[in-house]
Amino acid sequence: MEITEQYIGGAGSNSGLRIHYASLDDLDAVEALEKAGFPPAEAGKREDFEKRILAFPRHFWLLEEDGKLVSMVNGMVTNETHLRDEMFENADLHDEDGEWQMLFGVVTDPAYQGKGYMSRLMEHVIEDVRRQGKKGLVLTCKDRLIPFYSRFGFVNEGKSQSEHGGAVWYEMRLTF
């Protein structure tokens, strides 16, 4: 059974936490959250988010509190085992039957950071990907976030080949 929405606490779409897949109706909020959470060189572009939502909506998760977008995670599925920079900009590389869930945008509104929102969303994403029968998840992060992802079982595989946004990235993998 596919879960498209999950309500946590409260009763109704504007009460408590709501996790759901993104749609084009969410594009303005997605763009605003990305700009708030990443430096300009690293932030995704609106047109890239539009392509991602259309190409892989079941791999674009949003967490809202009382109707406000607070956190999001998105990424494509592929048979490739490492996250490449080209994947950020080319949604056509998505293969729904692929074995690995790549995660690109993992972001929480700065005003809500440190309050458990991303932990809750990441737990949901991991379980959803597991239900979809994938081998696991791959992401890249900055060194300060390695301990955060390690708590979910991700293993640091060292420096990534990624040069996205001119930053140093570490590739992390969670294998089921």
**Contacting residues for 152 by C-beta, under 8 A, at least 6 apart:** 122, 123, 126, 174
Query: Is the CB of residue 110 less than 8 Å from the CB of residue 36?
Result: yes
What's the whole-number mean pLDDT along residues 26-48? Answer: 88
The boundaries of the domain holding residue 100 are 5-175
List pLDDT tens digits, range 59-70.
999 999 999 999
**76 pLDDT higher than 50:** yes
pLDDT at 105: 81
CATH number for the domain harbouring residue 140? 3.40.630.30
Query: Is the CB of residue 156 less than 8 Å from the CB of residue 121?
Result: no
Tokens standing for 65? Answer: 């509190």
Best CA proximity match to 160, nearest among 147, 141, 135: 141
Residues of the chain by 3-state class (helix, strand, coil), percent to 5: 35, 30, 35
Q: Edge-to-edge strand order for the sheet containing 170-175? A: 77-78, 100-103, 136-141, 170-175, 155-159
pLDDT-derived band at 21, boundaries 50, 70, 90: very high
pLDDT at 1: 30
Pairing of the two strands 136-141 and 155-159: unpaired
Domain count, the chain: 1
pTM above 0.75, yes or no: yes
